């Protein structure tokens, strides 16, 4: 069976598309106990699937597509994931990898519930050594790549949630400080040393409106900050202690969003439809 068009349905917030029985659709990391639907292409990462580190990064299953077709897609996903690790610095998400592979196959795509912008905010009572699963991907980097691909994707791809609206357009005074060097200095100064960290600076950075980040944003600054917002799955220790800290996670989450908005503004991205 040839795949010409498909819906990709992520696990993020947002509305689901109207149900169309048998229409090809991709899902991610669903419970192994749930039955495969007609037309479903289920992609599961090896951690969720309980597989060994030597296994392929993703497993593809479907009742509507032949086993050989699923194995071929699984192989393409593995190749793409390995290629994407270099520009991202870590394992790519199943969603971004799937977009890369299917778009490269000429498949027309409709994307739902996949903004590539999960929350990094921790629950107040989360144990200090329990990481957020979202923290193991470089979401800033994934959105950077998505915008780089967007010109080629647009003709055959609908991805409304790639566009993040700015929730504030207030003007800045002429003496406003450039927040990028302040944030970079904060991360490097406090890396690996949570005790005595200057939380007020982080609070101030999180309070700035999107426009404060727009005026001084450049690609080099944004990319230099990416590695402060994710964890490496195989590392037992990390200098990015703020990704484990319940007390600062609200600030980190807000700043993460502001950087994504600045990244989008820098790309001069129009509203996506």
Q: Is 170's pLDDT higher than 80?
A: no
Q: Is 71's pLDDT higher than 70?
A: yes
| Three-state DSSP class for residue 144 | helix
Beta bridge partners of 110: 7, 158
Cα-Cα-Cα-Cα dihedral of 158, 27, 264, 211, to 10°? 120
For the chain, the C-alpha Rg in angstroms (whole number) is 20
Res 269: pLDDT: 45
CA distances in angstroms from 162 to 116, 120, 150, 235, 269, listed in the order given: 7, 18, 10, 30, 10
Q: Is 23's pLDDT higher than 70?
A: yes
104-158 pLDDT, tens per residue?
999 999 999 999 999 999 999 999 999 999 999 999 999 999 999 999 999 999 9
DSSP-assigned states of every residue in 148-181:
HHHHHHGGGEE-GGGS---S--PPPPTTPPPHHH
Q: Which of 10-19, 152-161, 236-245 has the lowest mean pLDDT?
A: 10-19
185-224 pLDDT, tens per residue?
999 999 998 988 899 999 999 999 998 999 889 999 999 9
| Three-state DSSP class for residue 255 | helix
Query: Please, which residues have CB within 8 angstroms of residue 225's CB and are 6 or more apart in sequence?
Result: 140, 180, 183, 184, 187, 259
Q: Is 246's pLDDT higher than 90?
A: yes
- The answer to whether 205 touches 185, Cβ cutoff 8 Å, is no
| Beta strand pairing call for 58-61 and 40-45 | antiparallel
The whole-angstrom separation of Cα 217 and Cα 48 is 37
Token pair listed for 218: 């450049």
Tokens 């199943």 sit on residue: 94
């Amino acid at each position: 069976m040839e795949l010409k068009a498909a819906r990709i349905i992520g696990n993020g917030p947002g509305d689901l598309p109207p149900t169309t029985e048998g229409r090809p659709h991709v899902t991610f990391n669903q419970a192994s106990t749930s039955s495969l639907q007609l037309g479903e292409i289920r992609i599961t990462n090896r951690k969720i699937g309980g597989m060994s580190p030597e296994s392929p990064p993703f497993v593809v299953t479907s009742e509507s597509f032949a086993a050989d077709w699923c194995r071929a897609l699984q192989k393409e996903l593995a190749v793409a994931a390995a290629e994407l690790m270099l520009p991202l610095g870590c394992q790519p998400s199943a969603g971004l990898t799937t977009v890369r592979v299917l778009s490269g196959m000429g498949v027309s795509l409709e994307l739902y519930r996949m903004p590539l912008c999960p929350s990094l905010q921790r629950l107040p009572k989360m144990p200090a050594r329990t990481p957020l699963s979202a923290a193991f991907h470089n979401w800033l980097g994934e959105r950077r790549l998505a915008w780089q691909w967007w010109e080629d994707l647009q003709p055959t791809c609908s991805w409304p949630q790639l566009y993040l609206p700015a929730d504030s357009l207030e003007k800045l005074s002429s003496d406003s400080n450039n927040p990028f060097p302040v944030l970079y200095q904060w991360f490097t100064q406090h890396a690996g040393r949570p005790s005595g960290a200057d939380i007020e600076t982080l609070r101030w950075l999180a309070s700035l409106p999107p426009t404060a980040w727009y005026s001084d944003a450049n690609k080099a600054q944004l990319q230099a900050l990416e590695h402060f917002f994710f964890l490496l799955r195989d590392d037992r220790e990390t200098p990015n202690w703020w990704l484990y800290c319940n007390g600062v996670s609200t600030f980190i989450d807000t700043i993460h969003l502001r950087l994504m908005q600045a990244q989008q503004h820098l790309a001069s991205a129009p509203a996506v439809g």
